[in-house]
Amino acid sequence: MKKKIAIFISGRGSNMVALLKNIQDGILKDLCQVELVFSNKPEAPGLKIANDYGVPTACIESKGMKREVFEQEVVDFLEDYNLDYIILAGYMRILSPVFISAYRNKIINIHPADSAEFRGVGAYEWAFENKKDFTKITVHFVDEGVDTGPVIGKQVVDLRGCKTLEEVEKVGLATEHAFYSEALRRVFSGEYKMEEGR
């Protein structure tokens, strides 16, 4: 059975595009189907791109709403979709227990650093400012902490030769785009066991 997933975005959605390509005709093809792309921001450019891919989209604006109220609304909205996984791809909201308890061990995130070394936003800036020769991309399950959940996989990014922050981001994103699908392939196929990441 293909896993039913929702991809959550807040912005441009380049990871979402990489996933959609691999779901349409790549390593995720027989493993999952996208029920919807969801955004908390109506202006997220990724929403239009998802439409162009023929994927249903939905948006509930989070701005001005209390976190728990917003998340309960999202949980209620998603109920009928019977999702197996929520895939965060540049979803710029910290999730509260309201959402996490509804989807325990079913929410996956990509974080552009080694989560043991750097957590939170600004990971590429951190790597650049600290003149890192290497950084890592982490794909992990989401728990109540910020980038603290069980790790599915980490991938090294070689930053030697990057002279600007833009170059760091470009090299890092290229790795993210390939690695996220590979990490999800391992989860959806049953190859990955949760105990590995604890």
Name the residue with the smallest CB distance to ligand GRF. Answer: 90
Helix (H) or strand (E) holding 35: strand 32-39
DSSP annotation string for 115-184: TTT--SS-HHHHHHHTT-SEEEEEEEE--SSSS-SPEEEEEEEE-TT--SHHHHHHHHHHHHHHHHHHHH
Shortest gap between Cβ of 52 and ligand GRF (angstroms)?
15
Shortest gap between Cβ of 80 and ligand GRF (angstroms)?
27
Given the residues 16, 20, 91, 111, select the one marked as catalytic.
111
Nearer to ligand GRF among residue 72 and residue 93 (C-beta): 93
Nearer to ligand GRF among residue 13 and residue 31 (C-beta): 13
Indicate if 140 belongs to the active site: no
Shortest gap between Cβ of 82 and ligand GRF (angstroms)?
25
Rounded to a whole number of angstroms, the distance between the first and last alpha carbons of the chain is 26
| Site residues (vs ligand GRF, CB under 6 A) | 9, 11-15, 89-90, 110-112, 176
Nearer to ligand GRF among residue 72 and residue 154 (C-beta): 154
CA 35/CA 5 separation, integer angstroms:
6
Point out the residues that are catalytic: 111
